[in-house]
Structure 1
Amino acid sequence: MTSVKKQCATLLGIALYLFLVGNWAIAITDPVESNYALTAKEMLLAQNYLSPQIYGHYWYDKPIFFYWEVIAGFKLFGINEWGARFFPALFGVLGLFMTYWFGYKVYNRAIGFMSALILGTSFEYWLIAKAVITDMTLFVFFNAALICFYLGYSRLQRNYYYGAYFFAGLAVLTKGPIGLLLPGLIVILFLISQQNYKELLRMKWLGGTVIFLLVAGPWYYFMYKTHGMEFINVFFGVHNVLRATVSEHPRDNVWYYYLGMFVIGFFPWIFTVPAMLKRYWQDRRSQLNTKSFWQRWCTFDQTTTFLLIWALIIVVFYQLMATKYTTYTFPYLLPIALLVARQLHERYSFVKRVVLNNIILYTILTFAVVIPLCAQYSAKNIGYIVADHVTAQDMVVSYGNYKTSIDYYSGRLVYRIEKSEDIPHMKPSNMDWNTKNVMPLLAAEKVVITPQVLAIVENRRMADFLQDVGGTWSMIDSLSNYTVLQKK
């Protein structure tokens, strides 16, 4: 077996093990994973593969590609945790081989292999490869677009540019306009740094635009023709413009938010970053013998400059956005892993020890932490209790913290109980975060007059439930946070 085959076999074995082990036992969690899983489940059962729907209604939170992934997993393996998590894990494997290949192209095979090992055993990458969220898919498409650009630019093989348009189209199908706008910004700033403005004229605009539109355009056109301005207002207005201008979680809107995410997400390799930066900077100083920041920056080689701009622009861009999420900056781990691998490539034994330790650590975390913790952030047990006791005539309601995973695991539509005077202020409206309240709302007064009701009540709100709803109830089952009641 050649060294190339050994590297590929090693990388494949590590990736499949880390990203798939235990997935059959990791419950679908609230609030994010359950939204994706329930949407894919409803689309599959309705044989509707174009318009995302949840709680029996269309909704426009994300584009279609990731739902197709989850649906494909359900078709292959059934509607279960393994099926939901299979394709995110597969994209995690693809992301590592993409990194390996790119590292080989711009440096050498050893650095490419080491960068893939570093990336795959970083905490955030491992975690997202096991999660039912869009970010791993976006990671692959977003970064593939930038890789194709850079290979086309650096090797003067401009047919690679067509690949950049193709993957940008897939990124837009996965996350929205950001899949084109942010890679485009990175490319433009890089060309400015190289003072090569003429390259913009050589970037295969005509053919590339056709490819991009053929990949991303049909679904967006279908959604507009089918759902009209409601789709435009909610998808582009709320889930893109509003996220950028109004913080959904104001407490997270602090300058150090993504710095903290980087320290956590790039663990344990974060400890190598200070030494890496020091070595890069010393190299620049020895080459130029100056203390000028700008002069040192200008002495970076072309590939390092591109990787630095790639990583830094992602951080700065999302730091300027009003809404911050832990996974927004995730794509920058690829260029950072390459920069770290370039400095560590002569210390393969050290890297190998860290990788082996991480495999052991993540195995322990999977079974000792992730599986129990996800069970706490999921209503899987409640959903199964509801499925076992509900009848066709029962109305199922929830009081307190609403868990979408109950709908997913029980197979029943669950209404969220609120006071009648509060419901009008909670219903979705244009350019308002209430647009995310797509779960069915039901006035407490309606529950009072309904004869057959199954209620899931948050334990700490039990007194409020009995006061708002009243009636006589019998307990079916009680767990740590919720109690299932049936109206007598």
Structure 2
Amino acid sequence: MTTTTKKHLLIILVSGILLFFLGNSSIAITDPVESNYALTASEMFTSGDYMSPRIYGNYWYDKPVFFYWELIAAFKVFGVNEFAARFFPALAGVTGLVMVYGFARKIYDARTGLFSAMILGTSFEYWLIAKMVITDLSLFLFFNAVLVFFYLAYTSQNKKYYYLCYLFAGLAVLTKGPIGILLPGFIVTVFILWRRDFAEIKHMKWFGGMAIFLLVGGSWYYIMYQLHGQIFLDTFLGIHNMLRATVSEHPQFDVWYYYTAIFFLGFFPWCFSLPLVIRKYWKKRQWPVLDQTTVFLLLWAFLVNGFYQCMATKYTTYTLPALMPSAILAARLLYTQERLVKHLVAFSICFYLALTLWVAVPLCNSSYSGRSIAIALQDHVQDGDMVINYGDYKASVVFYGHKTVYNLKHANELEKVKPKAMSWSSKNVMPFISFEDLPGNKKLYIIVDKSKRNDFAKAFKANDWKLVETLPKAVIYYRPAQ
């Protein structure tokens, strides 16, 4: 390892630690997404069953198991807390910077590698997701590693790199599902077709590679099918894969420009590089001459965005893998602009540190998490008391409070919200109770979303309930046993 490489890696590691680890122990677990992952992993940890994800005491087939294993490992080492929950996403964030540095350095040079890593690390979406308790940074790592090792194998005599493609495809499938091999495979296929290099197919180590892929990526699925049968396949593949692709979970976001807007927001502040490219070649009135590596990077970026644009359900995080080739392409464009890159990186690091300490920490603690609700309940709720929720249900209250919280509905609403096959209601796995079935022989505590406070006053006799505590986003009442 050269002195230059050591210096670059030190810069990357220090920057990554500052960006992705600082403040993590003070950022509360937020709803609705982070809390589902954290609660599932904590229930698996407590039960000792590390194979079958579960939440609210029920088996939960929303995502494969690998990210839960990461959380459980962190809980074992650091305890069940915010720092532990955010440890592996942050670690994946740092590892992703090292990966893009190594790849860009290999296909171009060390300067491009350093610029690529710093551009990626200071891109808004990458920074944000590296601090979140979700699967996407782990998927970013494995998904992009498939394409990294494909291209290294394709452009060298060392075809053993292909074995690593299958290994990381298996890990990607174990993290997110079939997309972990289907989309990288699609990108590779389009690139081979563009090159018309069909002879390369016979060098791709199919027999040994597929054995690695099936062992790493398929074993858990086989075990889950043996344990839970058809319901596992129907729920995981049917609802959380096919349904997402064909029926929009959030129809308001299913618009043609969605991922274009996400690119400019997620690649901030480096998104200005794209208009620079367009302006440059518009003035020349000619298309750029593209070499093989540039084409591969462009296909990688555009096909990720194009694929997800065709899917009915759209999430801001889906196209995260496209940021890696985008960062390398931006690094090449800004190759001679060292001063600009340094200043923008320094500004971005300071900006994100301020955003962490002065925005993320207070905002997540006060507005997007039920931690304060759980703390308030701990001072009052005794064994045998019942806790119910009226309004926006927060899994984080269960994570922090370690108590069952029932979601309150009218009896005629229960059938609409309870889980059903091939429906988005299948995600409603929290325990429900109706107004009509509230027990009279138990002390009841109710968490009322402030937006539902007037509805609560109409639905209940106000004199029956006593105010316990008023919080920024909720009010807690109790009713004594009758």
| Aligned mates of 1:427, 1:222 — CA distance in 2 | 28
**Aligned counterparts, 1:154-193, within 5 A:** 154-193=155-194
Determine which of 459, 462, 485 is the counterpart of 2:477.
Answer: 485
| Aligned mates of 1:165, 1:156 — CA distance in 2 | 18
Residue 311 of structure 1 aligns with an amino acid whose one-letter code is: A
- Residue 281 of structure 1 and its aligned partner are, at CA, apart by 7.5
| Aligned mates of 1:135, 1:280 — CA distance in 2 | 34
Partner residue, 2:334: 344
Q: C-alpha offsets along residues 85-108 of structure 1, whole Å, 9 cap, x if unaligned?
A: 011000000000000000011001
| Aligned mates of 2:428, 2:163 — CA distance in 1 | 40
**Aligned counterparts, 1:412-423, within 5 A:** 412-423=403-414
| Aligned mates of 2:22, 2:325 — CA distance in 1 | 27
Partner residue, 1:72: 73
2:64 match: secondary structure? coil
Q: C-alpha offsets along residues 100-139 of structure 1, whole Å, 9 cap, x if unaligned?
A: 0000110011101110010001111111110000000000
Structure 1 length as normaliser, TM-score?
A: 0.95
| Aligned mates of 1:97, 1:178 — CA distance in 2 | 24
Partner residue, 2:3: 2
Partner residue, 1:305: 295
Unaligned 5+ runs, structure 1: none
- Residue 279 of structure 1 and its aligned partner are, at CA, apart by 4.5
Partner residue, 1:14: 15
Does the 8 Å contact 1:387/1:411 carry over to 2? Answer: no
Does the 8 Å contact 2:262/2:316 carry over to 1? Answer: yes
| Aligned mates of 1:469, 1:46 — CA distance in 2 | 37
Does the 8 Å contact 2:384/2:442 carry over to 1? Answer: no
The alignment-based identity, stated in percent, is 51
| Aligned mates of 1:278, 1:213 — CA distance in 2 | 47
- Residue 448 of structure 1 and its aligned partner are, at CA, apart by 4.9
- Residue 280 of structure 1 and its aligned partner are, at CA, apart by 6.6
Runs of 4+ in 1 over 4 A off after TM superposition: 277-282
Does the 8 Å contact 1:118/1:337 carry over to 2? Answer: yes
**Aligned counterparts, 1:44-83, within 5 A:** 44-83=45-84
Does the 8 Å contact 1:141/1:167 carry over to 2? Answer: yes
- Residue 183 of structure 1 and its aligned partner are, at CA, apart by 0.2
- Residue 332 of structure 1 and its aligned partner are, at CA, apart by 0.2
| Aligned mates of 2:205, 2:118 — CA distance in 1 | 34
| Aligned mates of 2:183, 2:334 — CA distance in 1 | 29
Residue 91 of structure 2 aligns with an amino acid whose one-letter code is: L
Does the 8 Å contact 1:447/1:469 carry over to 2? Answer: no
| Aligned mates of 1:198, 1:232 — CA distance in 2 | 37
| Aligned mates of 2:304, 2:170 — CA distance in 1 | 19
Instruction: Flag the 1:430–1:439 CA change in 2: closer, same or farther, 3 A.
Output: same
| Aligned mates of 1:80, 1:116 — CA distance in 2 | 29
Does the 8 Å contact 1:415/1:440 carry over to 2? Answer: yes
- Residue 228 of structure 1 and its aligned partner are, at CA, apart by 0.6
Structure 2 length as normaliser, TM-score?
A: 0.96
**Aligned counterparts, 1:345-360, within 5 A:** 345-360=335-350
Does the 8 Å contact 2:18/2:353 carry over to 1? Answer: no
- Residue 461 of structure 1 and its aligned partner are, at CA, apart by 2.0
| Aligned mates of 2:451, 2:222 — CA distance in 1 | 47
| Aligned mates of 2:302, 2:382 — CA distance in 1 | 55
* 1:442 lines up with 2:433 in the alignment: yes
Partner residue, 1:239: 240
Q: C-alpha offsets along residues 180-221 of structure 1, whole Å, 9 cap, x if unaligned?
A: 000000000000110112222221111110000110111101
* 1:326 lines up with 2:344 in the alignment: no
Does the 8 Å contact 2:410/2:434 carry over to 1? Answer: yes
| Aligned mates of 1:58, 1:163 — CA distance in 2 | 32
**Aligned counterparts, 1:114-193, within 5 A:** 114-193=115-194
Residue 485 of structure 1 aligns with an amino acid whose one-letter code is: Y
Does the 8 Å contact 2:66/2:174 carry over to 1? Answer: yes
Residue 473 of structure 1 aligns with an amino acid whose one-letter code is: W
